[in-house]
Amino acid sequence: MTAAPLGPFAALWASQAFSNLADGLLHASAPLLVATLTQDPLVVAGLTVAQFLPWLLVTLPAGALADRVDRRRILVAGNWLRAGGFALLALSLTAEWSHVGLLYAAVFLAGCAETMVDNAALAIPPRLLPRARLERANGRLFATQSVINTFIGPPAGAALFALAASAAFYTGAAAFALAGLAALLLPALRPAAEDDQNGAAAGDDEHGAAAGDDEHGPAAGDDQHGPAAGNDQHGPAAEDDQHRPAAPTGFVRDIGVGWAHFWRHALLRRVAFLSAAINFFGACTGGLLVLLVTGPYGLPASSYGWFVAVPAAGAIVGSLLAARVVPRIGGGATGWLAALTPAAGYAVLGLSHSTPLALTAMFAAAVASSLNQIVVSTLRQAAVPDELLGRVTAAYRLIVLGAVPFGALTGGLLGRALGIRAAFLTAALGLALAAVPLASRVTTRALRDAEKTPPAALPVHAGTQPRADQGRIGGGSGDHGRRDPRTRHS
C-alpha cells in the first residue's frame, strides 16, 4: 500500500532539520570557543550549565505556553530569536571582542528559546498525523536529527571554527533563520481546547441553538421559568455541558494540571528518573569531552567534531533498528541497555589511550540511547491527550533535562579536583550503580500494562477531558520506535 503524502509534516521535518543543523554547528564550535578562552574544567563545564539551566527555569511555563498558543508561532519566534542571538555573538567575534561571559549569555538565551521550541515541536506530530503513523514519523524525525545534529553539524562546525570562529556562529544563525521560515509553512496549530470550543460554537450555530443568543429559544441559564441548562442535572443540556469546554483556567493552574498528570502516570515518572540519571552522568562527562580530546588524547581541535559525529552513526542505527529490536528484547531490556552501555563507554574513555576504541564505545552507547529515546517519545505522545501534551512533556523534561546542569557542575568539580580521566571513571561507576534501582522498575510488563490502560482523566486547560479517540501505547510490548538529536534523553 502506498503511504499517504506527508503534507504539513514535511514542513515540520524541514524546520527541525535546519534547527538541528544549527544545533550541530554550535555543538562543536561553542565548546571549542570556551576551550580557547580557558582550560579550567569547571569553567568549561559551565557552558553546559548555561545551556541546560533554562530547562530548570522555564520548562514548565514553556509547556503551558505550548498548550495555549499556536505552536507554529512558537517555532517561528523561537528559531528567529536564536538566529538573532548567535548573529550578535558572531558580530562580537568579528570585532575581536570575546569573553566567556558573553558566550554563556548567548547560550543561555538560546537555551530559553530552545525550551519553548522543543516543547512545542514534540507536541506537534499527533496534530499532523494519525496515531498509526506516529512511530514512522518519529523515526524519520529522530534519524534526521541524529544525522544532521551530530553527524553533519559538528564536523562542519569544527571545520568552520578552524577557519574563523565567527564563521561557525554566522552559519548557525542562518540555519536558525531558515528553520523559522520553514515553520511558517505549517498550518495553524491552535490549542486543541480552542479548536474544540470553535467546533462546538460552529455546531451550535448550524442548529440554531446558540445558548443565550437565541431570543426565541431556551436561553441557557437566563430563563428562570424553564430548565436552566447546567443547573438541571437531569436535562439534556446538562449532559451536553459535560462535554463542552469550560472557560480557560489560569496559567499557573495549567502548569499544575500538567505536572499532576505527569506525576500520576507511574510509568512516565519511572522512565523520567531513569533518563535523568543517564543525563546527569552524561553531563558529567559531556562538558569535559573537549578537554579530554584536546588534552589526554592529544588531538587537534579540528578532530573534536568527530567525537560528536561518530556517535551519530550509532544514533542513526538505533533509530532505524528500533521498530525491529525493541519489540524483540522488550522495553525493560532497552532501559538497561540505555544505562549500562554509556557507563561502559565512560570507563573506556577514561582508561583508554586509543581513539578508535573510544569512538567505538561512544558509537555503541549512542545505539542504546537512540533505541530508548524513540520508545520514550512515542510513549509520551500515545499516553497523553493532545490538550495536555505540551505541559506533560515539559514536566517530563524538567526532570530529565533539569538534571543536566547539575551533572555538568558535578563533572566540572570532579575534573578540577581529580582530573579529567578520573571524572569519566567516576561517572561510569555512578551510572552503573544508579541503574540498579531505576532500570529495574521500568519493565516490559509495566509497558504492556500501560498499553492496556487508557490515560487517567484529569481536568485540563479550558476544562476539556481527554478525548476518547486518543491512542494508547501500542505495538507489541508497548515499545515503539526519541532523539533527542544529541545522545541525551528528553
Of the ranges 108-117, 126-135, 364-373, 435-444, which one carries the lowest mean pLDDT score?
Answer: 126-135
Task: State mean pLDDT over 114-127.
Answer: 78
Q: Given this model, what pLDDT does residue 166 score?
A: 92
Burial class for 67, CB neighbours closer than 10 Å (0-12, 13-18, 19+): buried
- Does residue 170 or residue 258 have the better pLDDT? 170
Helices (H) and strands (E) in the chain, counts: 20, 0
What 3-state class would DSSP assign to 454?
coil
Q: Concatenated DSSP letters for 65-125?
A: HHTTS-HHHHHHHHHHHHHHHHHHHHHHHHTT---HHHHHHHHHHHHHHHHHHHHHHHTSH
**pLDDT for position 124:** 80
pLDDT exceeds 70 at position 2: no
Q: What percent of the chain has pLDDT over 90?
A: 28
Mean pLDDT of 410-425: 95
Nearest to 61 by CA among 389, 386, 391: 391
The CB-side HSE value for 416 (13 A sphere, CA atoms) comes to 15
pLDDT at 407: 94
Could you tell me which residue, 41 or 268, shows the higher pLDDT? 41
C-alpha span between 15 and 148 (Å, rounded): 12
Look up residue 301 and give its DSSP letter.
G
| Least confident range of 116-125, 226-235, 299-308 | 226-235
pLDDT at 323 over 80: no
The predicted model gives 14-21 an average pLDDT of 90
C-alpha R_g of the chain: 24
What is the reported pLDDT for 201?
46
DSSP secondary structure letter of residue 209: -
Q: Which three cell numbers stand for residue 350?
A: 577514561
What is the mean pLDDT of the segment spanning 214-241?
42
Cell of 266: 507511574
Residue 214 has pLDDT above 50, yes or no: no
User: Over 50: is that where the pLDDT of 235 sits?
Assistant: no
Most confident option among 155-159, 247-251, 382-386: 155-159
Q: Are 349 and 291 in contact (CB under 8 A)?
A: no
Give the list of residues 6+ apart from residue 460 with CB closer than 8 angstroms, or none.
193, 257, 261, 385, 387, 388, 466
For the chain, give the percent of residues with pLDDT over 70: 75
User: What is the largest distance, in Å, between two alpha-carbon atoms of the chain?
Assistant: 88
Q: How confident is the model at residue 317 (pLDDT cuts 50, 70, 90)?
A: confident
Mean pLDDT of the chain: 77
The string of pLDDT tens digits covering residues 292-314 is: 998 899 888 778 888 877 887 88
Q: Cα dist. 347→217, 256, 287, 358, 370 in Å?
A: 75, 40, 16, 9, 20
Distance CA 140, CA 13 (A): 8
Q: What is the pLDDT of residue 170?
A: 95
pLDDT of residue 86: 92
Confidence of residue 209 (pLDDT cuts 50, 70, 90): very low
| pLDDT(190) > 90 | no
Of the pLDDT bands very low, low, confident and very high (cuts 50, 70, 90), residue 475 is very low
Q: How many residues does the chain have?
A: 490
Q: Which residue has the higher pLDDT, 436 or 251?
A: 436
Q: Does pLDDT of 5 surpass 50?
A: no
Residue 70 has pLDDT above 80, yes or no: yes
Whether 35 shows a pLDDT value over 70: the answer reads: yes
> Tell me, what DSSP letter sits at residue 471?
-
Mean pLDDT (whole number) for 279-289: 92
Residue 127 has pLDDT above 90, yes or no: no
Q: How far is CA 143 from the centre of its chain?
A: 14
Tell me the DSSP string of 334-401.
Answer: HHHHHHHHHHHHHHHHHH---HHHHHHHHHHHHHHHHHHHHHHHHHHHHHS-HHHHHHHHHHHHHHHT
Residue 164 pLDDT greater than 80, yes or no: yes
Residue 455's pLDDT band, with cuts at 50, 70 and 90, is low
- Which is more confidently placed, 94 or 470? 94
- Each residue's pLDDT tens digit, 252-261: 887 888 888 8
Segment 120-143 mean pLDDT: 72
Q: What is the pLDDT of residue 131?
A: 66
